Amino acid sequence: MGNAFVGIDLGTRYSILACVDDDGPKVIKNRWGRERTPSFVACDRGSLWAGEDALSIACAFPQKSCCDLKRRLGSSEKIYLKDMSFKPEELLRVLLLYLREDCEAYLRELVKGCCVAVPSSFDFRQRETIKTAAQMAGFEAVKLVNEPTAIVLSANVEGSILVFDFGAGAIDISAVEKEGDICHVLENAGMDQFGGMDLDREVAFYLWRLVKAEGDPEADPRWPLLLMEAEKIREALSFADSVDWWPRASGLGFGENVSLTIHRDEIEEIISPLVKPAIDLAKEVWDRYNCQKLLLAGGCTRMPLIRRSLGNAVAEPPKVRACTDEAVAVGAALLGGKKGKLLVDTLSCDLAMETADGGLSVIAPRGTPLPLRVTKRFMVVGTGRIESEVLQIKDGPDGPSRETLCPVFIEGAKSGDVVVIALSVDAGGLLTVEISGDEGELFVSRTLNVLDRSSEGQIFNERSRKLEELERKFARYSYLFDADLECRVTQLFEYVKCLQWSDDELWKDAFSVLELASDRIARAVKYR
């Protein structure tokens, strides 16, 4: 027991879990008996909430919730929930912990490993953020797989395949060769900052104009609710030519108390220019690799506009197959549980190092097959010091951009020594950097990781240990608590747990208050 390995489809709007047992792959239902869990995180009453609970908070207090967490991964900017700020990986930890609890409740055993599916366009920082958050959530073994690759792994198809995955937060387009249990990714393309959420935004603008509302809609407190209404309308129009919408009944509080009819062709006219670049890109990849089959995934591919456009430009209906919602999670579970699968994926962006003259040397270009390991040798001269940087180069709307992944600093080597820097990228796109001498001796005592959060991780672990010690000490008196006091004590501990990644001064103040309160409560219940 305790060796369960699960697949996680970490979607922008919803997450889905799957596992593989003796009967094959199956979807894991959450604590509410549903197969989809909202990928929302919220902060309320001093505690962090995830899933269905966070969605309920988001509907009532949008400013207390984060509904686009996936798009913020890898960013150094803090996320503000009301008056509190968090790093993306802190909030992702809460969501992944929520998902792990659901897995353990469903499987009735401890879950120690997971394989998380991510967009193929995710860079090194985004992937490392997910790995870090998963480890913080209690997953000891963490693998990553690109979402299109997971789709192909779960599908019963072979040959030259084009995957078109149009999700809420991104569009993934991949050309894949599959034969038996061997899966070879030829190219990953797509749009990492465009998805169904952007379509919903345009529909919400249309609804705002339709009810003749005034002012800036995005500054209006009802805007998050209007986005939810837009999503429901867009999804309904995938199966109907028109829908009736009651603005007042939706809780928005504007417009007349009458229904408005929204027609599919009106919405298609609005969003058609937005999806055209994705259709054109799919056609380019289809033609380049002479693909024979088209796999559709993601909720947006149910839209008649998308299927009609793909049918006209890319593949005729007999060559098209729609995948189920759980395809990504099942593929991740199959890869996590091995089951004889052989996977070759590709690098999502250029990997480079800074040269001695300040220039760039591309170590591995985008599209290089994974896994890979590249070594660079440097001759130490002069002071015996080597300074460099490992960087990633990404194509953006304004051209290529470079971003430092981790600095490389070596001191103490002798002039004439040869230093070997090895860059390794696993099949999931996770990067590690190792530094050693030409004879094998290490100049540093550890491997450098992207985000290099080792010191922060030690601080977090130490704070977690102190909280656990205090909880164990406090638990001796818990049998004396009434229900109200037990609830208040739990809330107090949860509030301080939210601050484990905060600055040192705030953490010390909060933990001191917790210690003092715990001591007073323990003495009060002990001698009452």
Q: pLDDT truncated to tens, each residue of the chain (528 aa)?
A: 457 899 999 999 999 999 998 888 999 999 999 999 999 999 998 889 999 999 999 988 888 999 999 999 988 888 999 888 899 999 999 999 999 999 999 999 999 899 999 999 999 999 999 999 999 999 999 999 999 999 999 998 999 999 999 999 999 999 999 988 788 999 999 888 899 999 999 999 999 999 888 888 888 888 888 999 999 999 999 999 999 998 877 777 766 678 899 999 999 999 999 999 999 999 999 999 999 999 999 999 999 999 999 999 998 888 899 998 999 999 999 988 765 567 789 998 999 988 777 788 888 999 999 889 988 887 777 766 677 888 898 877 677 888 888 887 776 677 777 888 888 898 888 888 888 776 655 454 334 556 544 445 556 666 777 777 777 776 766 666 677 777 777 777 776 776 666 566 667 777 777 777 777 777 776 555
CA gap 237, 227 in Å, rounded: 15
Number of alpha carbons in the 13 Å side-chain half-sphere of residue 492:
19
Say whether both 275 and 395 belong to one domain: no
Say whether both 263 and 247 belong to one domain: yes
Say whether both 335 and 314 belong to one domain: no
Number of alpha carbons in the 13 Å side-chain half-sphere of residue 2:
2
Say whether both 77 and 213 belong to one domain: no
CA distances from 47 to 43, 50, 319, 488 (A): 6, 10, 49, 12
CA gap 116, 328 in Å, rounded: 9
Say which CATH number the domain at 73 has: 3.30.420.40
**pTM as predicted:** 0.81
> CB of 267 within 8 A of CB of 234?
yes
Q: What pLDDT, on a 0 to 100 scale, did the predictor assign at position 454?
A: 43
Domain count, the chain: 4
CA angle 257/227/306 to nearest 5° reads: 110
CA angle 80/84/90 to nearest 5° reads: 75
**Closest alpha carbon to 44 in 386, 362, 498:** 498
Say whether both 310 and 328 belong to one domain: no
Say whether both 37 and 86 belong to one domain: yes
Say whether both 467 and 489 belong to one domain: yes
Amino acid in the structure at residue 297: A
Residues 6+ apart with CB under 8 A from 368: 346, 347, 351
> CB of 418 within 8 A of CB of 435?
no
Q: What pLDDT, on a 0 to 100 scale, did the predictor assign at position 376?
A: 82
Say which CATH number the domain at 405 has: 2.60.34.10
Of the three residues 450, 479, 508, the one that is the final residue of a domain is: 450
CA gap 73, 95 in Å, rounded: 13
Q: What pLDDT, on a 0 to 100 scale, did the predictor assign at position 59?
A: 86
DSSP 195-250: SHHHHHHHHHHHHHHHTT--S-GGGSTTHHHHHHHHHHHHHHTTT-SEEEE-TTTT
Say whether both 169 and 271 belong to one domain: yes
Say whether both 168 and 296 belong to one domain: yes
Q: What pLDDT, on a 0 to 100 scale, did the predictor assign at position 479?
A: 63
CA gap 58, 40 in Å, rounded: 8
For 41-61, write each residue's pLDDT tens digit: 999 988 899 999 999 999 888
Of the three residues 383, 416, 450, the one that is the final residue of a domain is: 450
Average pLDDT, the chain: 85
For 135-144, write each residue's pLDDT tens digit: 999 999 999 9
Say whether both 366 and 399 belong to one domain: yes
Say whether both 197 and 274 belong to one domain: yes
Burial letters 102-112, b for 16+ CB under 10 A, else e = bbbebbeeebb
Q: Is the peptide bond before 397 cis (omega within 30 degrees of 0)?
A: no
The residue segments making up the domain with residue 312 are 156-322
Say whether both 372 and 270 belong to one domain: no
Of the three residues 277, 306, 339, the one that is the final residue of a domain is: 339
